[in-house]
Amino acid sequence: MFRRPTYLGLIYGFCCIILISSCTTDLEFNSSNYDKKLVINSIFYPYEPFKVRLTSSRNILDSNSKIEQVSKAQVLLLNKDGILLEMLTEVGTSGIYRSMEVVAFPGETYTIEVSKDGPDGFTDIYTATSNIPKISLATTLDTSIVSLAKCNKALKINVLIDDLKNVNEDYIFEVELKTKGTLAPLFDFDNDVMVYGDPKTPKRLYLNDTGFDGKLRSLEFLTCEGFSSDNSNGITEIKMFNASKDLYEYYKSLEEYELSKRTINPSSTLPLKVYSNIVRDGDKIGLGIFAGANKKSLILEY
Protein backbone atom coordinates (compact mmCIF):
# COMPACT_ATOMS: atom_id res chain seq x y z
CA MET A 1 0.00 0.00 0.00
CA PHE A 2 1.37 3.42 -0.96
CA ARG A 3 2.34 5.65 1.99
CA ARG A 4 2.54 9.40 1.74
CA PRO A 5 5.90 10.86 2.80
CA THR A 6 5.89 12.49 6.20
CA TYR A 7 7.02 16.04 6.86
CA LEU A 8 10.19 14.85 8.65
CA GLY A 9 11.00 12.49 5.79
CA LEU A 10 10.87 15.34 3.29
CA ILE A 11 13.24 17.40 5.40
CA TYR A 12 15.64 14.45 5.78
CA GLY A 13 15.70 13.81 2.05
CA PHE A 14 16.27 17.47 1.26
CA CYS A 15 19.26 17.57 3.64
CA CYS A 16 20.78 14.48 2.04
CA ILE A 17 20.58 16.07 -1.39
CA ILE A 18 22.37 19.19 -0.10
CA LEU A 19 25.11 17.12 1.55
CA ILE A 20 25.70 14.98 -1.53
CA SER A 21 25.86 17.98 -3.83
CA SER A 22 28.24 19.83 -1.50
CA CYS A 23 30.65 16.86 -1.46
CA THR A 24 31.09 17.04 -5.23
CA THR A 25 31.87 20.77 -5.36
CA ASP A 26 35.16 21.44 -7.16
CA LEU A 27 37.65 23.81 -5.54
CA GLU A 28 39.88 25.86 -7.80
CA PHE A 29 43.55 26.44 -6.90
CA ASN A 30 45.36 29.32 -8.52
CA SER A 31 49.01 28.30 -8.65
CA SER A 32 49.98 31.70 -10.06
CA ASN A 33 49.53 33.12 -6.56
CA TYR A 34 52.43 31.01 -5.26
CA ASP A 35 54.95 33.17 -3.41
CA LYS A 36 58.48 32.05 -4.26
CA LYS A 37 60.83 31.83 -1.30
CA LEU A 38 64.53 32.62 -1.18
CA VAL A 39 66.65 29.53 -0.48
CA ILE A 40 70.12 30.07 1.01
CA ASN A 41 72.72 27.27 1.00
CA SER A 42 76.28 27.43 2.31
CA ILE A 43 78.49 24.85 4.03
CA PHE A 44 81.90 26.22 4.93
CA TYR A 45 85.18 24.61 5.97
CA PRO A 46 88.48 25.81 7.52
CA TYR A 47 90.85 27.87 5.40
CA GLU A 48 88.46 27.96 2.46
CA PRO A 49 86.55 30.97 1.04
CA PHE A 50 82.86 31.27 1.84
CA LYS A 51 80.49 30.31 -0.98
CA VAL A 52 76.77 31.07 -0.74
CA ARG A 53 74.27 29.83 -3.32
CA LEU A 54 70.96 31.69 -3.64
CA THR A 55 67.99 30.13 -5.43
CA SER A 56 64.22 30.50 -5.44
CA SER A 57 61.87 27.75 -4.31
CA ARG A 58 59.50 26.22 -6.85
CA ASN A 59 55.81 25.37 -6.72
CA ILE A 60 55.59 21.56 -6.72
CA LEU A 61 51.94 21.78 -7.86
CA ASP A 62 52.95 23.59 -11.03
CA SER A 63 54.88 21.52 -13.59
CA ASN A 64 56.18 24.72 -15.21
CA SER A 65 57.62 26.08 -11.97
CA LYS A 66 61.42 25.91 -11.81
CA ILE A 67 64.20 26.53 -9.32
CA GLU A 68 65.95 29.70 -10.44
CA GLN A 69 69.24 31.34 -9.50
CA VAL A 70 68.83 34.56 -7.53
CA SER A 71 71.11 37.30 -8.79
CA LYS A 72 71.83 40.88 -7.67
CA ALA A 73 71.37 40.25 -3.96
CA GLN A 74 73.53 41.69 -1.20
CA VAL A 75 75.36 39.10 0.90
CA LEU A 76 77.30 40.32 3.94
CA LEU A 77 79.66 38.22 6.07
CA LEU A 78 80.02 39.23 9.73
CA ASN A 79 82.03 37.93 12.68
CA LYS A 80 80.57 36.84 16.04
CA ASP A 81 80.53 40.48 17.22
CA GLY A 82 78.51 41.63 14.22
CA ILE A 83 81.44 43.40 12.58
CA LEU A 84 81.42 43.32 8.78
CA LEU A 85 84.20 41.15 7.36
CA GLU A 86 83.34 41.29 3.67
CA MET A 87 80.57 41.83 1.14
CA LEU A 88 80.52 38.67 -0.94
CA THR A 89 80.93 38.98 -4.71
CA GLU A 90 78.57 37.28 -7.15
CA VAL A 91 80.23 35.13 -9.80
CA GLY A 92 78.68 36.58 -12.96
CA THR A 93 74.91 36.18 -12.66
CA SER A 94 75.09 32.62 -11.34
CA GLY A 95 73.49 33.25 -7.95
CA ILE A 96 76.75 32.08 -6.33
CA TYR A 97 78.43 34.60 -4.02
CA ARG A 98 82.04 34.17 -2.85
CA SER A 99 84.36 35.82 -0.39
CA MET A 100 87.47 37.11 -2.15
CA GLU A 101 89.57 37.93 0.92
CA VAL A 102 88.16 36.18 3.99
CA VAL A 103 88.52 32.46 4.73
CA ALA A 104 86.93 30.54 7.60
CA PHE A 105 88.90 29.57 10.72
CA PRO A 106 88.33 26.73 13.21
CA GLY A 107 86.73 27.78 16.46
CA GLU A 108 85.18 30.91 14.94
CA THR A 109 81.52 31.85 14.55
CA TYR A 110 80.17 33.64 11.48
CA THR A 111 76.92 35.29 10.40
CA ILE A 112 75.60 36.03 6.94
CA GLU A 113 73.05 38.70 6.16
CA VAL A 114 71.29 38.44 2.81
CA SER A 115 69.03 41.16 1.47
CA LYS A 116 66.98 41.09 -1.72
CA ASP A 117 64.27 43.42 -3.00
CA GLY A 118 60.97 41.57 -3.24
CA PRO A 119 58.30 41.89 -5.94
CA ASP A 120 56.24 44.04 -3.57
CA GLY A 121 59.00 46.64 -3.38
CA PHE A 122 60.01 45.72 0.17
CA THR A 123 63.46 44.40 1.06
CA ASP A 124 63.54 41.04 2.84
CA ILE A 125 66.48 40.42 5.16
CA TYR A 126 67.67 36.89 5.92
CA THR A 127 70.26 36.02 8.56
CA ALA A 128 71.96 32.85 9.82
CA THR A 129 74.78 32.09 12.24
CA SER A 130 77.02 29.03 12.58
CA ASN A 131 80.52 28.00 13.59
CA ILE A 132 83.42 25.70 12.70
CA PRO A 133 84.39 23.29 15.52
CA LYS A 134 88.03 22.56 16.15
CA ILE A 135 89.48 19.12 15.48
CA SER A 136 92.57 17.44 16.94
CA LEU A 137 95.54 16.84 14.65
CA ALA A 138 95.85 13.40 16.27
CA THR A 139 92.53 12.30 14.75
CA THR A 140 93.28 9.94 11.84
CA LEU A 141 91.66 7.92 9.06
CA ASP A 142 93.04 4.71 7.59
CA THR A 143 91.83 1.91 5.31
CA SER A 144 92.45 -1.72 4.49
CA ILE A 145 90.95 -4.38 2.23
CA VAL A 146 89.41 -7.36 4.02
CA SER A 147 87.84 -10.61 2.84
CA LEU A 148 84.15 -10.87 3.52
CA ALA A 149 81.46 -13.37 2.58
CA LYS A 150 78.94 -10.58 1.96
CA CYS A 151 80.80 -9.09 -1.00
CA ASN A 152 83.98 -11.16 -1.37
CA LYS A 153 86.14 -8.16 -0.48
CA ALA A 154 85.31 -4.99 1.41
CA LEU A 155 86.88 -1.63 2.18
CA LYS A 156 87.44 -1.28 5.93
CA ILE A 157 87.66 2.24 7.36
CA ASN A 158 89.56 2.69 10.62
CA VAL A 159 89.06 5.93 12.55
CA LEU A 160 90.91 7.17 15.62
CA ILE A 161 89.17 10.14 17.24
CA ASP A 162 91.14 12.33 19.62
CA ASP A 163 88.13 14.01 21.22
CA LEU A 164 88.43 17.48 22.72
CA LYS A 165 87.21 17.78 26.31
CA ASN A 166 83.98 19.59 27.31
CA VAL A 167 83.05 20.54 23.75
CA ASN A 168 80.10 18.19 23.05
CA GLU A 169 81.18 17.23 19.57
CA ASP A 170 79.10 15.66 16.79
CA TYR A 171 80.82 13.54 14.16
CA ILE A 172 79.52 12.49 10.74
CA PHE A 173 81.12 9.85 8.49
CA GLU A 174 80.56 9.15 4.80
CA VAL A 175 82.31 7.51 1.83
CA GLU A 176 81.86 9.43 -1.41
CA LEU A 177 82.26 7.63 -4.70
CA LYS A 178 83.41 10.69 -6.59
CA THR A 179 83.41 9.02 -10.00
CA LYS A 180 79.71 8.14 -9.57
CA GLY A 181 78.75 11.20 -7.53
CA THR A 182 77.08 9.04 -4.87
CA LEU A 183 77.66 7.88 -1.29
CA ALA A 184 78.51 4.25 -0.59
CA PRO A 185 76.31 2.14 1.74
CA LEU A 186 78.03 1.42 5.07
CA PHE A 187 77.72 -1.47 7.52
CA ASP A 188 79.31 -3.25 10.53
CA PHE A 189 79.59 -0.22 12.83
CA ASP A 190 79.27 0.09 16.62
CA ASN A 191 75.91 0.11 18.41
CA ASP A 192 76.26 3.70 19.65
CA VAL A 193 76.58 4.98 16.07
CA MET A 194 73.32 6.53 14.87
CA VAL A 195 71.65 6.18 11.47
CA TYR A 196 68.86 8.53 10.34
CA GLY A 197 68.42 7.45 6.73
CA ASP A 198 67.46 4.02 5.43
CA PRO A 199 68.66 1.56 8.12
CA LYS A 200 69.15 -1.14 5.47
CA THR A 201 71.59 0.94 3.38
CA PRO A 202 72.91 3.80 5.56
CA LYS A 203 74.97 6.37 3.68
CA ARG A 204 76.00 8.51 6.68
CA LEU A 205 76.94 7.54 10.24
CA TYR A 206 76.45 9.89 13.21
CA LEU A 207 78.30 9.81 16.52
CA ASN A 208 78.15 12.14 19.55
CA ASP A 209 81.04 12.18 22.02
CA THR A 210 78.83 11.78 25.11
CA GLY A 211 80.43 8.44 26.00
CA PHE A 212 84.07 9.40 25.33
CA ASP A 213 84.36 13.15 26.01
CA GLY A 214 88.00 14.19 26.02
CA LYS A 215 89.24 10.65 25.31
CA LEU A 216 90.54 8.56 22.42
CA ARG A 217 87.90 6.57 20.54
CA SER A 218 88.45 4.04 17.76
CA LEU A 219 85.76 3.31 15.22
CA GLU A 220 85.51 0.86 12.32
CA PHE A 221 82.99 0.36 9.53
CA LEU A 222 82.87 -1.35 6.13
CA THR A 223 81.65 -0.79 2.60
CA CYS A 224 81.57 -3.09 -0.42
CA GLU A 225 82.28 -0.15 -2.75
CA GLY A 226 84.95 2.48 -3.27
CA PHE A 227 87.93 0.34 -4.30
CA SER A 228 89.07 -1.66 -7.30
CA SER A 229 87.54 -5.13 -7.13
CA ASP A 230 87.24 -5.67 -10.89
CA ASN A 231 90.17 -3.68 -12.35
CA SER A 232 87.93 -0.60 -12.67
CA ASN A 233 89.20 2.95 -12.08
CA GLY A 234 87.78 5.56 -9.76
CA ILE A 235 88.26 8.04 -6.92
CA THR A 236 86.89 7.59 -3.41
CA GLU A 237 86.92 10.20 -0.65
CA ILE A 238 86.42 9.04 2.93
CA LYS A 239 85.16 11.93 5.02
CA MET A 240 84.88 12.59 8.72
CA PHE A 241 83.16 15.81 9.78
CA ASN A 242 83.37 17.43 13.18
CA ALA A 243 80.09 19.16 12.49
CA SER A 244 78.44 22.24 13.89
CA LYS A 245 75.05 21.61 15.49
CA ASP A 246 73.46 23.22 12.43
CA LEU A 247 75.11 20.86 9.94
CA TYR A 248 74.41 17.82 12.14
CA GLU A 249 70.70 18.65 12.39
CA TYR A 250 70.51 19.54 8.68
CA TYR A 251 72.00 16.26 7.44
CA LYS A 252 69.99 14.29 10.01
CA SER A 253 66.67 15.88 8.99
CA LEU A 254 67.53 15.64 5.28
CA GLU A 255 67.97 11.88 5.57
CA GLU A 256 64.81 11.52 7.67
CA TYR A 257 62.92 13.58 5.08
CA GLU A 258 64.12 11.46 2.14
CA LEU A 259 63.24 8.28 4.04
CA SER A 260 59.77 9.58 4.94
CA LYS A 261 59.01 10.41 1.30
CA ARG A 262 59.60 6.78 0.36
CA THR A 263 57.78 5.16 3.26
CA ILE A 264 54.86 7.34 4.44
CA ASN A 265 51.22 6.96 3.48
CA PRO A 266 50.51 10.21 1.61
CA SER A 267 46.87 10.17 2.70
CA SER A 268 47.66 10.08 6.41
CA THR A 269 50.71 12.23 7.04
CA LEU A 270 53.13 14.72 5.51
CA PRO A 271 56.90 14.41 4.98
CA LEU A 272 59.13 15.76 7.72
CA LYS A 273 60.52 19.26 7.35
CA VAL A 274 64.21 19.69 6.61
CA TYR A 275 66.05 21.64 9.33
CA SER A 276 66.98 25.23 8.52
CA ASN A 277 68.73 27.91 10.56
CA ILE A 278 67.85 30.68 8.09
CA VAL A 279 65.85 33.47 9.77
CA ARG A 280 63.73 35.85 7.72
CA ASP A 281 63.18 39.39 9.02
CA GLY A 282 64.18 38.38 12.52
CA ASP A 283 61.45 35.91 13.39
CA LYS A 284 60.36 33.84 10.39
CA ILE A 285 62.19 30.64 9.54
CA GLY A 286 63.50 30.63 5.99
CA LEU A 287 64.75 27.85 3.71
CA GLY A 288 68.24 26.43 3.35
CA ILE A 289 71.29 26.12 5.59
CA PHE A 290 74.35 28.10 6.64
CA ALA A 291 76.61 25.73 8.56
CA GLY A 292 80.26 25.09 9.31
CA ALA A 293 82.26 21.91 9.81
CA ASN A 294 85.81 20.77 10.28
CA LYS A 295 86.81 17.90 8.04
CA LYS A 296 89.32 15.07 7.85
CA SER A 297 89.41 13.22 4.55
CA LEU A 298 91.31 10.45 2.83
CA ILE A 299 91.32 10.13 -0.96
CA LEU A 300 91.83 6.77 -2.66
CA GLU A 301 92.63 6.57 -6.38
CA TYR A 302 92.37 3.19 -8.06
Write down the pLDDT at residue 282. 76
To the question of pTM greater than 0.85 for the whole model, the response is no
**Which of 37, 39, 40, 38 lies closest to 112 in space, CA to CA?**
40
Write down the pLDDT at residue 115. 94
Give me the sheet containing 109-117, strands edge to edge. Answer: 84-87, 74-79, 109-117, 123-131, 279-280, 284-285
Structural domains in the chain plus CATH codes: 35-131 (2.60.40.10), 140-273+292-301 (2.60.40)
> Are the CB atoms for 287 and 275 separated by under 8 Å?
no
Write down the pLDDT at residue 20. 46
**pLDDT tier at 63 (50, 70, 90 boundaries)?**
low
Residues 221-266: pLDDT tens digits? Answer: 999 999 887 677 899 999 999 999 999 999 999 999 988 877 765 5
**How far, rounded to the nearest angstrom, does the alpha carbon of residue 227 sit from its chain's CA centroid?**
27
Residue type, 255: E
**Which of 167, 165, 171, 161 lies closest to 216 in space, CA to CA?**
161
Evaluate if residue 274 carries a pLDDT over 50.
yes
The answer to whether the Cα torsion of 221, 224, 229, 234 is positive or negative is negative
Evaluate if residue 273 carries a pLDDT over 50.
yes
Q: In terms of pLDDT, which residue wins out, 67 or 275?
A: 275
Give the contacts of 15 (CB within 8 A, at least 6 positions apart).
none
Q: Cβ–Cβ contacts within 10 Å for residue 191, how many?
A: 5
Residues 11-50: pLDDT tens digits? Answer: 555 454 444 444 544 545 455 555 678 999 999 999 999 9
Alpha-carbon span 82 to 285, nearest angstrom: 20
**Which of 256, 250, 255 lies closest to 275 in space, CA to CA?**
250
Alpha-carbon span 226 to 239, nearest angstrom: 13
